[in-house]
Copies of this chain bind each other. A is one copy, B any other.
Amino acid sequence: MAATLHDVARLAGVSIKTVSNVINDYPHVRAETRERVEHAIVELGYTPNLTARNLRSGRTGAIALAIPDLSLSYFAELAAAVIAAAEDAGAVVLVEQTDGDRDREIELLKSPRLKLTDGLIFSPLGMSQEDVAFLDVPYPLVVLGERIFDGPADHVTMRNVEAARAATEYLIAGGRRRIAVVGAHEGELVGSAALRMQGYREALDAAGIPFDPEIIGYTTLWHRSNGATTMRALLDRGAEFDAVFGFNDTLALGAMRVLQESGRRVPDDVAVIGYDDLDEAQYSIPSLTTVHPGQDWIARTAVASLLERIAGNGEASPPRLMLADYRIVERESAPPAAATR
């Protein structure tokens, strides 16, 4: 079996306290003693039992990340950034998938499995504003996304309304007037879809362009296939438009594919803009103009904020809202104003 402090102590002829001192870099250890202990550690291949250490210290050095589904590129890229940021801070990440299911999300929040971790970074999808009370949990929590606001926990998210407005204005500046939407959510109030819709309408209003419900494509999920299906439905009902705002990149890519199949040229006949700036947005044909919403910053900020709360040892301080900056990434599917047509 694995060696313990006692084994090392016995071999080095000291007490376990001394071994512990050596391991934890306690300064007052005689050089000669330290060397003997270090020798014993190497000889026995001793490595500390983290579970025991955790029990004693009440910390595990692990944080949990709960997201809907890793096979969605957006969340995969987010998780990659969170894990990298956590590693830099010496923490390790346990990933849970909720499938965006409200019940699973709520269950997860109270799951004792979380006891394995010091805190949680939580990206809800099924829960909504009325579930805000479930976020009042007895451990450090950072919430991502826009399903829930004014909760009792720290919140890191993006400027959806502003960014969506900027995306729409970008299309308008490029001379487009009939801008279709792909990915609207029927009746939603606070989700990403609702906020991006709001930004879209603000831009139209500001430009004096009337809102036309005929060119709004609704969908439930935001996968590639939904983008394709929604665009097909728009075309089938004879909707006319010269631009498309996909509420995320995968929707935009799915929609773009259907547009091209139908014989329309992108961007000549229809300009397309997405949202998320996924890696693959660079490699589609044409490459996808999109909104870069600052995922990296979100990931780093979420980790830093969570670790701060953990280090703060449950001292209550008011929940913070942190907003990432965005920018429009100009690519081929919607060239900048000067280059249009």
Contact = CB atoms under 8 A, between A and B. Distances in A.
Interface stretch (A9-17, A49-57, A213-221, A238-246): A49-57
Contacts of A80: 69-71, 97
Contacts of A97: 80, 83-84, 87
Tell me whether chain A's interface is mostly helix, strand or loop, or mixed: helix
Interface string A276-293: 000110111100000000
A225 interface: yes
23 contacts: A47-B115, A48-B115, A49-B55, A49-B115, A51-B54, A51-B55, A51-B116, A52-B55, A55-B55, A61-B113, A70-B76, A70-B79, A73-B76, A83-B96, A92-B94, A93-B95, A94-B94, A224-B279, A224-B283, A254-B283, A257-B284, A257-B285, A285-B285
6 nearest A-B residue pairs (beta carbon): A76-B76, A70-B80, A50-B115, A71-B80, A224-B283, A47-B112
Interface of A: 2, 47-52, 54-55, 60-62, 69-71, 73, 76-77, 79-80, 83-84, 87, 92-97, 112-113, 115-116, 138, 224-225, 228, 253-254, 257, 260-261, 279-280, 282-285
Given A62-B116, A71-B80, A257-B283, 18 more contacts: A2-B138, A48-B115, A50-B112, A51-B60, A51-B116, A55-B55, A61-B113, A70-B76, A70-B83, A80-B97, A83-B96, A92-B94, A92-B113, A93-B95, A94-B94, A116-B116, A224-B279, A280-B280
